Structure 1
């Protein structure tokens, strides 16, 4: 099926059978019986199969429309077989009934289009993608979100990395978790955090990505640059999977972090689930104070994981990435509050080589000069955008002692830079006005242009590549920002 409708073959067969069942009443008499029988058989068979393999809520109105139509379609046929005169409803009564049934049936594909099971774009790079998950605990840092003095700060990190092409398509990883259970728990947590009925996001645990768990790293003994990623407020480590897989396919290791007590739901290896404790008050000053605190915790998480990369690469922590991490080329990245954390982590930790900020407003209470280049992708700025957003971001970028880039993507909204366009309704205020895959594709392409230039020193000015995706402002060290569009 189309990537925009996202129905399985059995679901498509159910919809087709239900439509034909309703329309059979309006066919010439010689066609009604065979068409009605065939359509009824298709509806029953497809419904039974979906009941066994898992019925999505989007198909419920299709079944309802078919269920309403079925007795009216079969009744005249059954009466004829018993010798009794077949009685059919008059056309003026059957017409509105048919319209109602067709409307119910149409609601199924419409719902599948608006809230699909996400279909991830296939990575375009030369590598297949592997993934693995590690739980990392900092023995030196207490967990400030709990009162227990023995609690230490723990983060869950998921790695996407270049793998051999012979692993492509084998055992594709579950989206949102290591197991179906974890994916369901995280999906429910995201729905609760957003204030949505859980059923609306039930496509997420059904989705699979292009990565393979614990696949061997691509051969050759190459060490790959690393991008550490912090999600948005309440977000989870997998929220930018399409972006992570595209970068991994081009030779980068991407590490997405769960920040317990901030991320909507974090499932630890022991089985315990930690729900978010972050909340806004509605008071601007208090909320900014809280955001600064959350940002500081996340920045510390990024620096901690940056340190752990050495243990992972050396084999002290067993896993497929031993000997494959280039710990001299590590980037801090994030979306929204995670982007703010990446900026602050780089300012505090000179070991980071660069920063990617995906539509994140800074919350650093004491911004100071920093040496890393920055790529900041921003949504289209409109009357509803926080008027202090760009001035704050500009002040921070102007403090950099390396050239930085701010790219405003036309048609983008705040969630454009995540996986959200792949599974949320295509409402411009929510996910922007680009098509479902354009947001993740542009985010990855711009990130790769910046990373290749900054870490691999590829030929050419990155501004030339970046300006193809929107309005670019270049921040030169000690100079005035200059727009290239």
Structure 2
């Protein structure tokens, strides 16, 4: 998607802001004529991330993982795709949207249209349909002590999310995503969640745009201006032995006071910051043996169990925020 109204502040060529997205939506099993296994990530992204693992002497896993998806549906199946509530997913700082594909697929399977977003020139690599790609600035560029730099990036990310939601309300755009769609998505009641700086983005976007009615911040510090909101908000942090929560994260304490509606904090034990993406699940499914460097990155919690717990809570929250369904999961 191209935002013709914005010049990309991070593009050396000063081009318009381009945003790559992935859309996951549910199809009834009876309406799916063919399933296929497709690469978990596109090739250049796979090479980038597997090379990153190799630096730590961790086996390359991303190239061996496949996603099973429906690749052929009965003619009627996609006409009413716009009926599904929209949830946006914003990745962590420099993370690619593809590192959350399994999470997005799991959430979509429970009745949501889930859109994952890449934030160009920050995401480690973004591949485009024409074969070109952009690479992001190195992680060292995003000094966590540089408040001004982070707040500027946060504004850009929030505008990305708001633009994507607006585009999903345009039938011409939706038809490019889902050929055969007969009406667009409803964009007056959406939700957003994210991991790390993506969680920061989720809260900031909720506070800036009334079309968002719920947000989850998963293990992300909160930068930028804070405004009161009456919409439900979930803060998802870490428990022992590596706690990060409202009691020791100084950015969550002032945020809490601005949450005037339903709010809750939950914490996952035996995890680390990178537990909150697909990687723990992928390492478990690939049969990779535990090693100290992996435990430092992902914690000691079983990868499959971590995925089940995190997604169970995310799904329960979305059911509450978008469907008005209360769940014991919260």
TM-score past 0.5 threshold = yes
User: How does 1:22-171 map onto structure 2 within 5 Å?
Assistant: 136-149=1-14, 151-166=15-30, 167=32, 170-171=35-36
The one-character-per-residue Cα deviations of 1:408-449 (angstroms, maximum 9, x if unpaired) are: 112222122211103446443311222121111111110111
Helix, strand or coil for the counterpart of 2:251? helix
Q: Distance in 2 between matches of 1:293 and 1:395?
A: 20
Contact 1:227 1:254 in 2 (8 A): yes
Q: Which residue number corresponds to residue 311 of structure 1?
A: 170
Q: Which residue number corresponds to residue 321 of structure 2?
A: 454
Q: Distance in 1 between matches of 2:173 and 2:129?
A: 23
The one-character-per-residue Cα deviations of 1:277-296 (angstroms, maximum 9, x if unpaired) are: 1432696532x333222222
User: Cα–Cα, structure 1 residues 249 and 165, in superposed 2: closer, same or farther, change >3 Å?
Assistant: same
Q: Distance in 2 between matches of 1:450 and 1:299?
A: 21
Contact 2:53 2:60 in 1 (8 A): no
Q: Distance in 1 between matches of 2:210 and 2:10?
A: 27
Q: Distance in 2 between matches of 1:431 and 1:245?
A: 21
- Scaled by the length of structure 1, what TM-score is found? 0.60
1:241 aligns with 2:101: yes
User: Cα–Cα, structure 1 residues 164 and 198, in superposed 2: closer, same or farther, change >3 Å?
Assistant: farther
Q: Distance in 2 between matches of 1:153 and 1:301?
A: 8
Q: Distance in 1 between matches of 2:186 and 2:195?
A: 23
Identify unmatched segments of 5+ residues in structure 2. Answer: none
Aligned residues between the structures: 318
- Counterpart of 1:271 (choices 112, 120, 131) is 131
Q: Which residue number corresponds to residue 417 of structure 1?
A: 276
Q: Which residue number corresponds to residue 98 of structure 1?
A: none
What is the root-mean-square deviation in Å for CA atoms of aligned residues?
2.8
1:434 aligns with 2:319: no
Which has the larger displacement, 217-226 or 264-273? Answer: 217-226
The one-character-per-residue Cα deviations of 1:300-352 (angstroms, maximum 9, x if unpaired) are: 11111011110147756462455363323311211101110111111111111
Helix, strand or coil for the counterpart of 1:238? helix
Please say which structure displays the higher CA radius of gyration: 1
Helix, strand or coil for the counterpart of 2:189? strand
CA offset at residue 145 of structure 1? 1.2
Q: Which residue number corresponds to residue 40 of structure 2?
A: 175
Q: Distance in 2 between matches of 1:413 and 1:422?
A: 14
Helix, strand or coil for the counterpart of 1:260? coil
The one-character-per-residue Cα deviations of 1:237-258 (angstroms, maximum 9, x if unpaired) are: 1211222111111101110111
1:204 aligns with 2:62: yes
Q: Which residue number corresponds to residue 158 of structure 2?
A: 299
Structure showing greater relative contact order (alpha-carbon pairs closer than 8 Å, 6 or more residues apart): 2
Q: Distance in 2 between matches of 1:330 and 1:384?
A: 30
Contact 2:35 2:72 in 1 (8 A): no
Q: Distance in 2 between matches of 1:239 and 1:165?
A: 25
Identify unmatched segments of 5+ residues in structure 1. Answer: 1-135, 177-182, 467-485
Q: Which residue number corresponds to residue 225 of structure 1?
A: 85
Q: Distance in 1 between matches of 2:163 and 2:64?
A: 33
Q: Distance in 2 between matches of 1:334 and 1:326?
A: 21
Contact 1:361 1:389 in 2 (8 A): no
Specify which structure has the higher proportion of helix: 1
- Scaled by the length of structure 2, what TM-score is found? 0.86
